[in-house]
Amino acid sequence: MDTSHDLQAALTAFMQRRLADWHGLPPQARIDEARRILGLSAAAEGRGSVGSARHAAQWQSLDDRPLVLWARANELVLLEFEGPFDDLDALAALGAPAARLDVNWGVAPLPEGEWVYPERGLAVLVSPQGQALRLFGFAPMPLAAYQRDLRRNPKPRPMPAPRKAKP
């Protein structure tokens, strides 16, 4: 099994938003191999957490695309691709998600806005109008494992206070 080729094919399908070709990150995908494929430096840009268990993770982004790679130790665990995606018709082709989870989006909750396809290693934030807002790619796993170990659901950002007019 050529894990480098499998990872390259998975990254390409995800970055090109070919969701019909996306079947999740390959098992034991490595961040150093993803960096080599994508021509990234060996240094993480930031730290954060993933999953409801708040696992410590490092992230790194591509300069030319709104793609973020999340890793724990040297394991590539999550891809996050920010939209919105006007050209994404693949949602209908994916069929019904295994779950529609309430999620925080910007300053407010988005009821049933995260569509999760755990058997495909895919979660999609979907607006009430049906537009894909953000994609998450991961290795196929049970829904409970995704929620516990990988799900990104930050607290809502507070609305900026309105500026008072000067007298």
Q: Would residue 160 count as lying in a domain?
A: no
Q: pTM here?
A: 0.86
Q: Would residue 34 count as lying in a domain?
A: yes
Containing structural domain, residue 107: 3-149
Give the DSSP H/E element, type plus range, for residue 58.
strand 55-61
Q: Would residue 159 count as lying in a domain?
A: no
Percent of the chain residues past pLDDT 70, beyond the cut: 85
Question: pLDDT for 38-59, tens place per residue?
Answer: 988 887 788 999 999 999 999 9
User: Average pLDDT, stretch 126-135?
Assistant: 88
Residue with tokens 């996050």: 80
Number of domains in the chain: 1
Residue with tokens 């991961």: 138
Q: Would residue 166 count as lying in a domain?
A: no
Q: Would residue 162 count as lying in a domain?
A: no
The pLDDT value recorded for residue 130 is 83
The pLDDT value recorded for residue 112 is 93
C-alpha span between 111 and 165 (Å, rounded): 35
The mean pLDDT value of the chain amounts to: 86
